Structure 1
Amino acid sequence: MTTFIPQGAAEVLEIVRWAAAEETPLEVLGHGSKRGIGRPAQTEHVLDLSRLSGVTLYEPEELVLSAKAGTPLAEIEALLAEHRQQLAFEPMDYGPLLGLEAGGGTIGGALTANLSGPRRIKAGAARDHVLGVHAVSGRGETFKSGGRVVKNVTGYDLSKGLAGSWGTLAVVTDVTFKVLPAAETEKTLAVTGLYDAEAAAAMAEAMGSSAEVSGAAHLPEGVVGRFLQGGFSGGARTVLRVEGVGPSVAYRIDLLSRLLKPHWAVEVIEEEESRLLWREIRDCRPFADGTEAPVWRVSIAPTEGHRMVDAFRRAAGANAFYDWQGGLVWLRMEAEPEAEVLRGLIAHFGGGHATLVRVAPAIRAAVPVFQPQPPALAALSARLKEQFDPKGILNPGRMVAA
């Protein structure tokens, strides 16, 4: 196996053209922080983009940042913090969950995996913030989509089309993202001791208020002790984050307290611990235990998440917590992943999708890791793959069996 490490976009084009001519598959990666997600690579060679690194344009007053695809997210976030700005979609760091060091993700990977964090309920995911890309298709052709202007809406937006493609359509070499001002401060209101169904009701009430909640999660009793570096104790917590300028945050936290306190016991988590807590929620830290025990990431209607988990627990041993007001469920299995059971229940409770984020390689090769698509959508995806990568050289088999 050969690892190609291009120094720039021109070398990426040359390598992909060679691979297309030879019909030789390539595993495309940045720093490999998400390499363990998806079916095992079915490739002879690796295209390593780690040296395509560096911010190429940053205009804080225009809220625009461009960088090469292999630029570490940690480097970009540090630069933005100097100017009190942020990537509002709060990209998750998968490294610790997959047994790797934190901080290994890249800006290109954030787009191709369509990353997001707890703020998705308010700000969306990576695809909602990308402005443009430069990329090389599996045909060995360069293309550009979008630009550096926030209001650019001309034509079909291929930048968004590449979000969530996991490197199977094109090799992204450069990206441009919209950035936003960072909040001056934040606080979190924690409601103590709720069952999952009660938590769903409390989160719905909070999200329907004028408090502008930017994070809503439920940490059941089985996992709550693993948050705040083990600092939580005394029962489940339902946590609601409020961000903004100091007086506004104080007012909205008080509003939430008055709304929920007549029903349940509440406490306020101050800024420093609040930031730590939401990083832990974002990165699924309770299940980052150094094992290969199966971990699922389930997207489902917020009103149905706790019902699905209750039914699933009757069929299989699992631990769970909830983000996105209950619409994102993290499940850690004790034994087999039980894919058919889980996906059957998701369909029963109104639909959604489940991704097997962590599992032993042998199981990854045998179980559909990504949610199987309905026939019409699968046919559309196949046609898209044919247009971008007709010889199937880019990450073949990662999302569906080749």
Structure 2
Amino acid sequence: MSGNDPLNPENFDLQKLLAQLSQMFGAGGGGLFGPQGDPWDQATKVAVAIASESGAEPNVEPADRIAIEDLARVADMYARQRPGVSLADGVTIAAVSRRTWTTDAVAAYKPFFDRFSEAVSENGSTELTLDDDLSPEEAAILGPMSQMFGQMLSQLAPTMVITSAGAMLGHLGQRVIGSYDLPIPRPGKVVQVVPAGMKEVAEATGAPLREVQMFVLIHELIAHSVLSVPHVADRLESLYLDFASAFRPNPDALMGDLGNITDLAQIAELSAKMADGNAMLNSMRTKTHDLLVPQLDALVAAVLGFVENATMAACAKLMTGHPAIRDALRARRVNASDPENFMEKLLGLNIDDATLERGESFIAGIIERAGDAGLERLWADQLDLPTPAEVDAPGLWLARIGIGEDGDASSSFEIPDDLSGLDDH
């Protein structure tokens, strides 16, 4: 081995390397991931600071709040008129600041991050795979290190993801419009909208602010109606949690980077790489994710397609600029920044133009074949939720649930009131 080979025992100082790694990764109360303590407290502070531009964001103007409350009554009425929309009594609209939205979002999304942390921690004992052609000297060094780095990764990964979660939710809070910018069920009956975000859309499109506000209010109410259906919420949350639970530590990838480390500067490069939440998630994907993606993609497409179609139909009775508003909101959703994409990668969300077009085509196919009757059945029963194949072929879904081309329920067998008329065989 060469004189510069880090695996040469004469050049390798294991204790020094461990001390440097410990310092970089925050042991002793400082380092890359900040002071020790509840990482969620730190994540919330980071998220709020980013979303509110370090506290510079003003509170919601009383005039804006009153105007939105007035529009909300009209939006509620038009949303409830759409087939397939079932809003519970007592649902209210709250105009909030980005700071408030972000604080509540951290609490709402915490269960998904917790599930990820549990999965990584519980499966962190995986040992690294050592090359068969290692010399005895190299094996003597890398062998003990393999277990150490497997354990270290399982301990660090949850903290790194929580730290990234704070930054991600902060950046999402800077651009947020309402509770359902991401199709994730939220508890309670309060639907949040962010006036500052709606003003940005109005400025970008040139549409009257009141039209943008009405569009967003109707959209958020319809999204709430779907994502509050118990079996829809349960199915989506189950898929999201299963996806977050499927990540596994990948210490082999870490050891591949460690092979060239000889000084503190290179450790700093490695620590920066490990602090990248997106890179960390990519390195921990498993085959289980490949099985979940088709189910998630299909259900998310169906939900988004229904919400957009119902919103457009309701807004068509109230305004003429709704297509431009829809396009602007689509662009904001699709053109997300890297921090915003982190949440989607954690839960398996893949919202792009293809997803939106798939959902749009599915809903259009239902309306074409069965009209309002088809839409009324979409969220009516857990067994009626469409499969991935049916989202691509709405006729298959209608046939399975027993609705004919004219929208009438069809059945080849009628259940009798009693058994007296049946032959005894």
Length-normalised TM-score, structure 1: 0.26
More strand by share: 1
More helix by share: 2
Indicate the structure (1 or 2) with the bigger Cα radius of gyration: 2
Length-normalised TM-score, structure 2: 0.25
